[in-house]
Amino acid sequence: MAHLFKSKLTVASFLFFLGALLFFLGAQGNNQKFSAKPLAQVTPSQKALSSDQGISSADTPADSFEEAEVVRVVDGDTIEIAGGKTVRYIGIDTPETVDPRRPVGCFGKEASDKNKELVEGRQVKLVKDVSETDKYGRLLRYVYVGDTFVNDFLVRNGFAKSSSYPPDIKFQEQFREAENEAREGNKGLWAGCNTSVSEQVPTIVQASSPGNCLIKGNISSSGEKIYHMPGQQYYTKTKIDEGAGERWFCSEEEAISSGWRKSKV
C-alpha cells in the first residue's frame, strides 16, 4: 500500500512539474511575441528635414542648420531674424533699394517684394558655407523656406544676379547656371531693365586697340564672355583688361569662334 502511494505521488509530482514547465514556456513565448521594439532615435535635424522631400538632393540643407523666424525683410537679399540679427544671402545680389547713397535699382522693389512674399513672418532654415559674417557683421547664409532654396529661386527667376565671393562658393556654379537660365528666358530684371546687370564692368585701365581690331571681348562678373561692337550701348564703358583674359577682336567671326557671344544691348 505504501509502495502504491509513493508511485502515485511520483506521478503527480511529475505531472505538476510538466505543467509548470509548459506554463513557463508559454509565458516566455507570449512575451517575445508582443514585446515592442525600441524606437529608432531621430535627431532634431533629421526631423526637420523629413518634411522637405520636395527639395532636390543637391539643394537639401546640411545637417548643421539653424531655424529662425524672419521678422523683417530689408531688401531682396537681406533679412532680419528674431533676436535682431541681420542675414545676408550668400552668392547672390539684388538691385539696391535701401542705400541712401545710391538710387533705387531697376527691379529692386520687385526683388524686395518677392523676398517678402517668400520669407517674411515665416520659419526658415539658415545654412552656413565657410564664413560666419561679412565685414558689416551680417550673418552669411543660404536660406530655405519649405521646399524652396531662396537664394537659387531669386536668381533663377530674374530677381537677383549670381555674385559669389570666396571662400563662400559652394553653390557658385549652380547660381551661374540659374542666372543664365533667367537671362535666356528674359525673366525679371533681364527683361524689365535697360541695364544688363552682369554686363556692367568696373572701370579699369584701358588696353589700347591693336590696329583696326575694335571689337571688345569682355568677361562679365559672372564669368561670361561677351563682346561689344562699336556703337552698342556699353561699348564706350567697357574696358579691356588683357591681364584678366579679356581681349580685342578684329571680326565677329573671330570673337564667336573664340567662345564669346555678342552683347544684347
Asked whether the beta carbons of 87 and 81 are under 8 A apart, the reply is yes
69 in catalytic set: no
Selected catalytic residue, list 67, 80, 96, 181: 96
Asked whether the beta carbons of 141 and 128 are under 8 A apart, the reply is yes
Give strand ranges (E) for the chain.
66-75, 78-81, 86-89, 92-93, 123-127, 139-145, 148-149, 161-162, 215-219, 225-228, 247-249, 261-262
What the block records as the C-alpha cell of 82 is 528674431
Residues 6+ apart with CB under 8 A from 172: 91, 162, 164
Selected catalytic residue, list 88, 156, 176, 183: 88
88 in catalytic set: yes
Q: Grid coordinates 509513493 are at which residue?
A: 6
Burial of 95 (0-12, 13-18, 19+ CB in 10 A): buried
| φ, ψ of residue 4 in degrees (nearest 5) | -65, -40
CA distance 182 to 192: 12
246 in catalytic set: no
What the block records as the C-alpha cell of 152 is 537659387
CA distance 92 to 94: 7
Selected catalytic residue, list 138, 141, 156, 183: 138
List active site positions: 88, 96, 138
